[in-house]
Structure 1
Amino acid sequence: MSTLDSLSLTAIPPEDEALRGPVRAFLAQAMKSVPAPVRARSWSGYDSNFSRELGRQGWLGLTLPKEYGGGGRSPFARYVVVEEFLNWGAPVGSHWIADRQSAPLILKYGTEAQKRRYIPPICRGESFFCIGMSEPNAGSDLASVKTRATRTGAGWLLNGQKIWTTNAHHSHFMIALVRTSGSAEDRQQGLSQVIVDLKLPGVTVRPIEDLAGDSHFCEVFFDNVQLAGDALIGAEGKGWEQVTAELAFERSGPERLYSSIVLFDEWLAYIRTDRALTAESLRLAGKVMAHLAPLRAMSIAVTARLAAGESPVVEAALVKDLGTAVEQLIPAAIADDLFGRDAQRVPLELLQTLNYVTQVAPSFSLRGGTRDILRGMIARGLGLR
């Protein structure tokens, strides 16, 4: 069966869709005074108090077992909640990675002690994780990582560097892909994953300011960082298999569709006003929706595969590649529409939102795997190479 054959239209179950109403009511109140340029940052936005409130509401760790503080719900429940967070522009960046992939990874590969230590505070919105994958000269080519964890009598000695690590300066822990044997020339062989307490001596985190003035990307240095023996997660040497499964969570969710959605909604509100609606703007709105609707269906279909316990790596890559293309289309097309109008009639908040999204849009096709890498994976999955 090909990748395309394995995705079929899937409806979100009614019991999970029922979450949408309460979440919308909460967000309508919480986000009512937040301006659009701030809301446009959403899943890169940091607000630890907001994350703790979501934990109190029971909206974090929805898919995790109740015995570890989770909701015991299906991935569809999380899909509904996340979709609402993004569409409202909620500041979810602090807990985002921990909830989306770190906790599921620990649940699947961790020891019982690791599960009980790390998962409950994630569900409460109190413990934040970052991803230690990319390195200088090894961005999307994860198999060539050089950061090394060497076994010692006390555990593991960690040395190396990670880069483009989202929210590392706000995180408590990192799950890092490291080399525990061999060399970079050995590619996938000898890779493992370790949990790093970012407060340990020898860890240095340096934020990187981007074009938009944000500093959510970081570089992280490890200089003889002593990790305990239980820092290893999963089996030694199985890091490549584990990180590949982890990326299916990162690449397939609503965040790969809605990074520009606050801008799109602000523009829709504007063109609905008197004298702002044109035939060209109608065509643009239709074009964007014609892309978003099937992509959302694909994303939900991948969620169904995840709910079945599968690891739809290629399908997730397909959603991510097509989704980021639409996310980049939105600011470019809206800019074309607005620059042909009388600037005095365009709301300042809309222009500010457009400015921000335009500046960060190039990163959409980089984070979570570059376009060329993803298309290579898709081609192999379809038997084209």
Structure 2
Amino acid sequence: MPEVFDTLTLASLPPVDEALRPLIRDFVAAHVEGLPLDRRARSWQGFDAAFSRSLGEAGFLGLTLPKAYGGQERGPFARFVVVEELLAAGAPVAAHWIADRQSAPLILHYGTEEQRKRYIPAICRGEALFCIGMSEPGAGSDLASVRTRAERTAGGWLLNGQKIWTTNAMHSHFMIALVRTSGTPADRQSGLSQLIVDLSLPGITIRPIIDLTGDAHFAEVFFDNVELPDDALVGQEGQGWAQVTAELAFERSGPERIYSSVVLLDAWIAHLQKIGRTDAAPLVGRFMAELATLRAMSIACTARLALGESPVVEASLVKDRGTTFEQELPIAIGDDLAGHPDEPVAPELYRTLLYVTHIAPSFSLRGGTREILRGIIARGMGLR
């Protein structure tokens, strides 16, 4: 156990990156002012392509990417500050989220120079929207068992199969799909590759999936003899598993694994302050202590990323504990409000609580289930 936790060394946000905070805070305030609480609580699922383009124009996308490709050439700490402010305010980030967080860094690290020039500048402008093709029916978080297959052809690749739970596929321009290019599912990690799929191509069918909240940010995607060019391949054929594992470190360690319920938390605290209740102070204090600890862990992971490392185990720890915290919040807040039935509560707060309560079970599914994450942690600790 100590050898894992020794790598989570506490770190601080550099002053040069903290200097971004008032700038992004002012930008966000100007764009989210007037949005109701339950809309802001949808921050991850809040799809607003115009907002994402405005972020790009203001220089808040592509913060870690080279200036040669349209980025700002700053480090992961700069992105941490910007993301933290976006999520804390409940800004609608879904349109650019995946492209900025995962797709662009993946293409930068593994793509060809032509791919970098073609995709990354458009991502930095908020104009190229990406989704991730990982999960499949019968596979879920067990990515090594994917069956979607791309066969070599004279001109490139022929893609067949299905992806599911693909966030915003119906709104995206491209998908980076994990597919099998050799062997069978029995070969597990061997024979997997990543391909960039233009979602406007013939043979692709996208069907939205409506969730319990009434939103449709997930989709299932079908590939029926989709012809891809040879340069659709990202990185080396057969190295998809190593690439996607590194990619997931970007997904699992950031503040996005802490702040999914924070708009509700802020609204509840504001409610307590408005009516002058102090009996919930111990619960508020517990939440603040947990949030501060998780934030410190996330910053420690960001420090590892800043050193060019891939903190897979550490990121899994942050994601596991962070989503547990996010899921506990609506339950505890709901119990508190229900325990004071004569207390006047704003309808907007009730709607926000209802939404977060409905969506919270998904927090420990997206980005890898709790069971998968704990398996990764156990292997990292030498327990498996």
TM-score tier by shorter-chain length is over 0.9
Corresponding residue of 2:68: 67
Corresponding residue of 2:241: 240
- List runs of 5+ in structure 2 lacking aligned partners: none
Corresponding residue of 2:24: 23
Corresponding residue of 1:278: 278
- Runs ≥4 in structure 1, deviation > 2 angstroms? none
Shift of 1:344: 5.7
1:210-253 CA-to-partner distances (Å, cap 9, x unmatched) read 00001000000000000000000000000000000000001011
Any idea what SS the aligned residue of 1:201 has? Answer: coil
1:331-375 CA-to-partner distances (Å, cap 9, x unmatched) read 000000001113560111111000000000000000000001101
Corresponding residue of 2:9: 8
Cα distance in structure 2, aligned partners of 1:171 and 1:189: 29
Superposed, 1:122-161 pairs within 5 Å as 122-161=123-162
TM-score by length of 1: 0.98
Residue 97 of structure 2 aligns with an amino acid whose one-letter code is W
- List runs of 5+ in structure 1 lacking aligned partners: none
Q: Tell me, yes or no, if structure 1 residue 307 matches structure 2 residue 306.
A: yes
Percent identity at matched positions? 68
Cα distance in structure 2, aligned partners of 1:147 and 1:40: 34
Matched positions, count: 383
Shift of 1:154: 1.2
Shift of 1:274: 3.0
Cα distance in structure 2, aligned partners of 1:41 and 1:5: 35
Cα distance in structure 1, aligned partners of 2:67 and 2:167: 28
Corresponding residue of 2:369: 370
1:44-69 CA-to-partner distances (Å, cap 9, x unmatched) read 11000000000000000000000000
Cα distance in structure 2, aligned partners of 1:2 and 1:228: 45
Cα distance in structure 1, aligned partners of 2:110 and 2:4: 26
Superposed, 1:219-230 pairs within 5 Å as 219-230=220-231
TM-score by length of 2: 0.99
Cα distance in structure 2, aligned partners of 1:297 and 1:116: 35
Corresponding residue of 1:350: 349
1:112-152 CA-to-partner distances (Å, cap 9, x unmatched) read 00000000000000010000000000001100000000000
Any idea what SS the aligned residue of 1:3 has? Answer: helix
Corresponding residue of 1:191: 192
Superposed, 1:26-65 pairs within 5 Å as 26-65=27-66
Corresponding residue of 1:338: 337
Corresponding residue of 2:315: 316
Residue 284 of structure 2 aligns with an amino acid whose one-letter code is A
Residue 259 of structure 1 aligns with an amino acid whose one-letter code is S
Cα distance in structure 1, aligned partners of 2:368 and 2:334: 26
Cα distance in structure 2, aligned partners of 1:235 and 1:68: 22
Corresponding residue of 1:255: 256
Cα distance in structure 1, aligned partners of 2:220 and 2:32: 31
